[in-house]
A and B are shown apart, each in its own frame.
Chain A
Amino acid sequence: MDSRDEAKIRQREEQLARRVGDALDQVTPNSARECPDAEIIAAYAEQALGPAESSQWEGHFATCARCRTVLRVLTASADTPLAEKEVARLGQLVSPVRPPIEVREKSTERTRPKLLDWRTRWLAPALGMAAVLAVWFAMRPPWRAPDQAATGTLVAQAPKDELPPTNPAPAEMDRLSKVAPQQDQKPANAPALSRLNTDSLANNAPAGLPAKSSVDAASGLDQISPSSGSRMNSMQEDKKLEAAPAAPPSLSESAKEKAAMAAPVAEPQSQAKVATNATPSAIVPQTEKDDAKRSADAPLRDKQQATAQGQAAAPSSAPVTGAVSPEMQSSPRNEQTFGVKRAVQPYSTLLRAPSGSTLWRAGKSGVIERSTDAGKTWSPQTSPSQEDWLGGASVSDTVCWLVGRNGAIARTTDGTRWERVSTPAQAAAAVGNKSQDWVNVTANDGQSATITAADGRRFATHDAGKTWQPQ
């Protein structure tokens, strides 16, 4: 059969199918097939009907434009994973780095004036960088000659690399080592900001774990959608803007802050890139149906985002500091920096669902909050535990897991109600029947998850916590 015949056949098929489809729309449902009530429609949307019942109602939906419209509206308002293009579009819409795109013609979302956007993007970071540099140079002028007579005070304040060759007093050496400039400690593999549970790890977990989280995080890179990565970075931008108006530190504190900020300021691109690439394990792998599509685009879109972010410099340094390497975490100076930051927010875990529109945050004393508008507003949720939450994983807009201190594990399967999940008995037995702190969780769905204890042991369940198997 030649191509002309094939084309004709395809045309016939298309014409026939189109006529049938149009005609289906015109059929008046007879009284025997009156429209189902809201409960049937809702149950169908949730796949809660049996196969026979589903099939029967599909027969009605095929000929009832009203019911198809209701289904379509319901699906559009549902918290379900979106198609890749829709996710990408949403990512672009919420990202302040990218310029606003032209959305659907019916959308009435406000678009910020381009001039204001430009200023927000460039002027504020530039002013911030200028301020930091000014203070830096004021406190530690780089052009001091090495043979200048140094008093004890100057020696104490001098950067490490400018010390005179004579040996300073041991006490001063101790102080110097503590105020070593940040640039010597590159925060390689810094977890991204959106996973703030690294803060809790710094305070509560062995030093080895953050690295493990970083490794886990990095391995999750090709399992997240590119736009969720971009949204993650855009959340970092949001954090920058949120963190900016914090109370100015004292003078001595400012020196420490400067030191903390110096490296990120000096190397914004690599910082942003690292922050981009270090995916928190809180971003749970996509479902099988979405993985293949999204992973293919992940590197390109992430690189683009990293480059764009790298150009937005100084204010990014403050929150990026919050996502730091294990070496930085162990420093008491950085502990203090963290302490200042942690006092602002009670949440140690920020989770984003694959769709990007639903987020959860959880933290101290069992607090749980949820946002369904990409973080614009938050509503509290009833927590099944008063323990601190240390980690979590969001599978979809309705399925989320949380883990925390003293054996606390919880999950929600409808996005609203949280229920406690029993902790593995084997874990409790291994630590003398004390409750284990759970620091991490990865999940595939509402039934299957793997939790990680503070001592690194892992347990997996496939029945929503009824039974656990050590990994």
Chain B
Amino acid sequence: MTLDPSLASLKPFLAKYGRLAGALHAEAMCARWDLTLEAFGEGLRRSAQKRFAGAQSDPSSVEAYLKSLHLEDLALACACTAGNEKAWESFIAHFRQDLRVAASAMLRGSGRADDARAEELADSLYAELYGVRQGEDGRRKSLFEYFHGRSKLGTWLRAVLAQKQVDQFRTTGKNVSFDAEEDGESPRVLAGRLETLPTNLDPDRARYVRRFDRALADALASLTPRERIILACYYADELTLAEIGRMVHEHESTISRQLERTRRALRESVSQALQRGSPGVDGRAAEAGLDAAQIEMAFEYALEDSPLDLSKALSAPGPAGELPKP
């Protein structure tokens, strides 16, 4: 799908959406920052271009999207990108304290709460926001150019801070878990399960485990992304139900019920698949269903201490839809 040509550059964009851009320009109170319609329009265009890159875009969708933006924040960001002093002062006045508080909260989570560190982390963003690097055209490249108004400016700033903090953590060799105390623990190696199986046991073991893995892959494919993320957050990240709820905007009781349902669904799905057996497909021989005792053995063997490889299982997008765009 090619990009809508009206989003490719400013002139065709204003030709098609100029009236809306004018209204949004007024609504965003761009006059405060002496921000021209062209400058603000360029911000709107880049936002729509990013949103609809590779996707179908009809004028009504684009207009609805542009109206949903946080216009005042976008105007401020555009004005700061342009180097407007008043805009920059307003940005500092409104966001500096909040950024420092956010930085402090982030550092507290990593056990490094410290006013000086928090200030350093927050202030480290300012240089990038102002733009210390030059682009290919010699123009100052500001981090504000990556803000497109889909979220509030404050939230976006905190997300940038969070990414910086997490990436810094990861590159210094710390454990992925943000507040982990597992220093020195080597990352778990992802390995195919069959390579780690002991060989001196039940000769049917390998067969049971293979069938179990296939059943599990089918069961996983039927999980929604929400169910998968809850499983990962609860078991891998060891978050509380409340923390997971805050991340995905659900009440913790809802998360608890969803987790319960997901666990039950996984077990039932795998049990039923093992009981059903499988027809011969893709060159594989047909397999008869297992009885209760054999299913029990399959669970026993499969859940012993050996890693599961879910890469293939999770290469299917699940019922939610297409793979996310880069």
- For B248, what are the chain A residues with a Cβ–Cβ distance below 8 Å? 58
- Please tell me if the beta carbons of B148 and A39 are within 8 angstroms of each other in the complex: yes
CA distance A26 to B163 in the complex (A): 20
Residues of A contacting B252 in the complex (Cβ-Cβ under 8 angstroms): 83
Q: B236 interface residue, CB < 8 Å from A?
A: yes
CB contact under 8 A between A17 and B235, given known A78-B155, A108-B108:
yes
Chain A residues whose C-beta falls within 8 Å of the C-beta of B207 in the assembled complex:
none
Q: B271 to nearest A CB, angstroms?
A: 9
CB pair B267 A379 closer than 8 Å: no
Kindly list chain A residues whose C-beta atoms are within 8 Å of the C-beta of B206.
none
Point out the residue from B109, B151, B322, B323 that lies within 8 Å of A39, measured CB to CB.
B151
Choose, from B35-43, B133-141, B309-317, the stretch at the interface: B309-317
Contact at B232–A25, with CB atoms within 8 Å?
Answer: yes
Establish whether residues B155 and A45, one from each chain, have CB atoms under 8 Å apart when the complex forms: yes
Residues on B with C-beta less than 8 A from A300 are none
- Does B321 lie within 8 Å of A52, measured CB to CB? yes
Chain A binding site: helix, strand, loop or mixed by DSSP? helix
- A57 CA to B325 CA, complexed, in Å: 9
Residues of A contacting B95 with CB < 8 Å?
A: 416
Nearest chain B residue, comparing its CB with the CB of A21: B235
- Does B324 reach chain A (CB closer than 8 Å)? yes
| Residue A304, interface by CB 8 Å | no
Q: Which parts of B294-326 form the interface with A (CB within 8 Å)?
A: 299, 303, 307-311, 314-315, 317-318, 320-326
The verdict on A59 contacting B320 (CB below 8 Å), with A20-B216, A45-B159 known, is yes
A452 to B220, CA, bound (A): 55
Whether a CB of chain B sits under 8 angstroms from the CB of A37 is: yes
- Check if B303 sits within 8 Å of A38, measured CB to CB: no
By the criterion CB–CB under 8 Å, are B235 and A68 in contact? no
State whether the Cβ of A175 lies closer than 8 Å to any Cβ in chain B. no
| Shortest Cβ distance from A36 into B: residue | B324
Question: In this assembly, does B231 line the interface, its C-beta being within 8 Å of a C-beta of chain A?
Answer: yes
A31-47 contact mask (Cβ, 8 Å, vs B): 1 or 0: 11110111111110111
B158 at the interface (CB under 8 A from A): yes
Nearest-neighbour CB distance to chain B for A133, whole angstroms, equals: 43
Q: Which chain A positions have C-beta within 8 A of B225?
A: 55-59, 61-62
Q: Which residue of A lies closest to B112 (CB)?
A: A108
Residue of B nearest to A37 (CB): B146
Residues of B within 8 A of A108 (CB): 108, 111-114
Tell me which residues across on chain B come within 8 A of A23, comparing CB atoms.
307-310
Asked if residues A21 and B236 are in contact (CB atoms below 8 Å), the reply is: yes
Say whether B311 contacts A27, CB under 8 Å. Answer: yes
Name the distance in Å between B319's Cβ and chain A's nearest Cβ: 9
Q: Are A21 and B321 interface neighbours, CB within 8 A?
A: no
Task: Determine if A253 is an interface residue (Cβ-Cβ < 8 Å).
Answer: no
Tell me whether A62 and B232 are in contact (CB under 8 A).
yes
Determine whether A4 belongs to the interface, using a CB cutoff of 8 Å to chain B.
no
The interface stretch among B1-9, B14-22, B96-104, B280-288 is B96-104
On chain B, the residues within 8 Å of A34 by CB distance are 326
Q: Is the CB of B170 within 8 A of A70?
A: no
Give B50's nearest chain A residue, CB to CB: A39
Question: Known contacts A23-B310, A26-B190, A39-B146; is A58 also within 8 Å of B237 by CB?
Answer: no
Closest chain A residue to B319, Cβ basis: A55
- Per the bound structure, the CA–CA distance linking A19 and B299 in Å amounts to 12
- Closest chain A residue, CB of each to CB of B72: A417
Chain B, 221-240, contact with A by CB distance < 8 Å: what is the 0/1 string?
00011101101111111010
**Residues in chain B near residue A380, CB distance under 8 A:** 93
Is A73's CB under 8 angstroms from B162's CB?
yes
* A residues near B166, Cβ cutoff 8 Å: 66, 69-70, 73
Please list 24 pairs of residues, one from A and one from B, whose beta carbons are closer than 8 Å in the complex, sorted by A's number.
A12-B303, A13-B267, A16-B263, A19-B303, A20-B310, A22-B235, A24-B228, A40-B150, A42-B159, A46-B152, A48-B151, A56-B320, A59-B317, A69-B166, A72-B243, A73-B178, A74-B158, A75-B247, A77-B101, A77-B105, A77-B158, A78-B246, A379-B97, A416-B98
